[in-house]
Structure 1
């Protein structure tokens, strides 16, 4: 399947989730800090364990996006984009806000909205 210009944002999200989700395996503290979470949490071994487990699930979502994309199931890809943008974006924004990093909260929330809108309007499947 040739890659259309409107597929690029989806493939970027799929790559970010797939490979970004693997970062905690190698350096969980760094991954937590990159999420925008304060250092007091990032240095916690318990938080690092949870980060590794959670991001394993995130990698799975990225792999699902790649799989459905390569199968040509673009409507499924858009559905996943909507769900992950709306739900995960909201959760990320809420946690960052709660932990006192409002700038990161806004960024994550708005990024989630953009991803959700891309899926909602079926931009990947759009011909």
Structure 2
């Protein structure tokens, strides 16, 4: 059942909202801008061969955002923390890919913010498990 709102729920709900809407960027602002915003190089962003891939990636990010909201609204806060902890894998992969093919600073930015999200989940901050 849905649990009472607490301030510690704000960060993952903000992330869920950003990802739900942000995943649509390749459709609303175009795939080239979405690729640049992701942090990849201009060379990759201007390659039309990459455009379908950012649309696919965007759909997955929107799906994760919707899943976070669904899990929250269902009152499954420990499951929400588990999903957030799994985002650590995205931090590793995004960091590696952006370090190789991204714009300057994109690897550090991606790995850092997704790493914080993963640690938030790992330490059970949404559910209050370890607080």
TM-score strictly above 0.5:
yes
* 1:58 equivalent among 58, 61, 64: 61
Unaligned runs of 5+ in 2: none
TM-score (norm 2): 0.90
Q: CA deviation at 1:100?
A: 4.8
Moved segments of 4+, more than 6 Å: none
- Alignment partners' CA distance in 2, 1:118 and 1:65: 14
Q: Does 1:4 align with 2:6?
A: yes
TM-score normalised to structure 1 length: 0.93
- Counterparts of 2:25 and 2:4, CA distance in 1: 29
Render the CA deviation track for 1:24-83: whole Å, top value 9, x for unaligned: 122111110001111111011111111001210111111000000001100111001010
The correspondence of residues 1-127 of structure 1 with structure 2, limited to 5 A, is 1-26=3-28, 27-84=30-87, 86-126=88-128
**RMSD of aligned alpha carbons:** 1.3
CA distance in 2, matches of 1:104, 1:3: 33
**Deviation at residue 101 of structure 1 after TM alignment:** 3.1
Contact 2:39 2:102 in 1 (8 A): no
- Count residues with an aligned counterpart: 126
Using the TM superposition, give the Cα deviation of residue 3 of structure 1 relative to its aligned residue in structure 2, in angstroms: 2.7
